[in-house]
Structure 1
């Protein structure tokens, strides 16, 4: 008989929410007593965390939730933090460096904080800093932290909007930072994880390949942006026109935000002139 999987079950609940991500839903997760990314209050998520109608704890007087947190504070991940904190009585946790941002987005002050590598409350789940998509973005490693568990024990990572199984993640100015994002992808790629669980879409069973695909995609886009500048483009819209060879109907704002983030990276690295620093100020962000 095969040995049981030593990793705890990762329970995913699709939460319909207003999001630009494909599928129109955010994945909320419950693992080892930690509720991650409760984007909205739904009957399915109530059931998963052990709430009876009309939102009271189940028959045993308790819920499956011992702590609540989010991967980042974009609206499509944080919408029901306050509601589930009230309904379950579980403490809310936020990254120590982004408490004000968390409180403003979630509508509730965190009860406690964590840093990179810390366990979240009394759960065995550890925080793994993965900024880039957003400055406060963090992933959560299940059973052993950032590559440091016992040999042969599977490692799962709740990765938020760091990665997706298909397509790509928006990393757009002014909220996103492509240098941070690429570093975060490299960190997870090299972290020895067996599975990663994105904030949108299905589970990823080959994290190394998925992360490398997303790195390659960003570097390909960067080359197109740099070529556009070298060919004489003088503003973000001109770079977008040159760098994208597809119809951008419905996503033009995200393309502009992405190009602006690429330009900011190239300026910071000294690969294009400083005059571009004043040309990338746009009002756009990712989901």
Structure 2
């Protein structure tokens, strides 16, 4: 089952568009092989109480675009879905410019040098949000949904009463998410994915790419894809006939890849191996090699 990815995003960096009732989107100019056309910053609410979700990286032009889009309004909340460097570092300058407090699950969970190199280790939210905790302003209420997997402190946010879920990097419209251990956890990702499927929201607004307007088939295809990938990993491990590293399994599992994505594919493949190990279907041989059980 192919995933019905959407890559038809015409929003210009710096421009603000009405994405859903009460929600605007501003695109950060930080395109890459992992961020698509850039990070989506969402403005929730209008007037005297606006929440900014995922202010993005440190980027003066993007900060100016957020402030321009909310000119004459009051930013009262700055929300962060997770502490990767394309989502949270911009919170510091935005908080300084608006006086609004920051909200997130917590600081980055994995230290640098232990697999946390992609994290924003300077970020500390003013207020921590637990799973199920709500924040609200005039005309809107958001509930935090803890969805670890892509990142240990990842939150989605449900816009109550609308059927809209801000899915951040847990579910993106343009590509699958990288799950890089130890902060990324494939077993946790699959549990979080099932949790989002069970919610049956009618609209997903991702951290990168355009909205997902038909979440049910998209999420079903995404789940099937992950399950099929895991089966390929298990099969390639058996076929190797010797201890192999995650990097050695990338070609038989993924086929030909953009060279920029090979390392990330190896990290996600390692996440699958760790999940298989926990389920008794794989074991480590020495430091980095793996064998089937």
TM-score (norm 2): 0.78
Contact preservation (8 Å) 2:88, 2:123: no
Q: Structure 1: how far apart are the matches of 2:156 and 2:276?
A: 26
Q: Structure 2: how far apart are the matches of 1:156 and 1:277?
A: 46
Residue 31 of structure 1 deviates from its aligned partner by 0.8
Q: Structure 2: how far apart are the matches of 1:159 and 1:189?
A: 11
Counterpart mapping for 1:43-82 below 5 A: 43-50=64-71, 58=72, 63-82=73-92
Q: Structure 1: how far apart are the matches of 2:246 and 2:92?
A: 38
Q: Structure 2: how far apart are the matches of 1:269 and 1:277?
A: 19
| Structure 2 counterpart of 1:117, from 132, 136, 141 | 132
Q: Say how many residue pairs are matched.
A: 251
Structure 1 residues 133 and 190: CA distance shift in structure 2, 3 A: same
Counterpart mapping for 1:1-287 below 5 A: 8-17=21-30, 19-32=32-45, 33-39=50-56, 40-41=59-60, 42=62, 43-50=64-71, 58=72, 63-95=73-105, 98-99=106-107, 101=109, 105=120, 107-120=122-135, 122=137, 124-144=141-161, 154-231=162-239, 232-233=241-242, 234-273=244-283, 275=284, 278-279=287-288
Q: Structure 1: how far apart are the matches of 2:170 and 2:285?
A: 27
Residue 75 of structure 1 deviates from its aligned partner by 0.2
2:75 alignment partner, SS class? coil
Question: Unpaired runs of 5+ in structure 1?
Answer: 1-6, 51-57, 145-153, 282-287
Whichever structure has more strand as a proportion of its residues is 2
2:28 alignment partner, SS class? strand
Q: Structure 2: how far apart are the matches of 1:238 and 1:207?
A: 34
Question: Unpaired runs of 5+ in structure 2?
Answer: 1-19, 111-118
Q: CA RMSD in A?
A: 2.3
Q: Structure 2: how far apart are the matches of 1:161 and 1:277?
A: 33
Q: Structure 1: how far apart are the matches of 2:259 and 2:135?
A: 41
Contact preservation (8 Å) 1:65, 1:90: yes
Structure 1 residues 276 and 93: CA distance shift in structure 2, 3 A: farther
TM-score (norm 1): 0.80
Deviations 1:231-280 (A, max 9, x none): 1252222211221222342211111111111111100111112x258327
Q: Structure 1: how far apart are the matches of 2:145 and 2:289?
A: 30
Contact preservation (8 Å) 1:260, 1:280: no
Q: Structure 2: how far apart are the matches of 1:280 and 1:175?
A: 20
Structure 1 residues 34 and 219: CA distance shift in structure 2, 3 A: same
2:268 alignment partner, SS class? helix
Contact preservation (8 Å) 2:150, 2:185: yes
Contact preservation (8 Å) 2:107, 2:123: no
After TM superposition, the structure 1 stretch with the greater mean CA deviation from structure 2, 77-86 or 113-122, is 113-122
Q: Structure 2: how far apart are the matches of 1:87 and 1:118?
A: 26
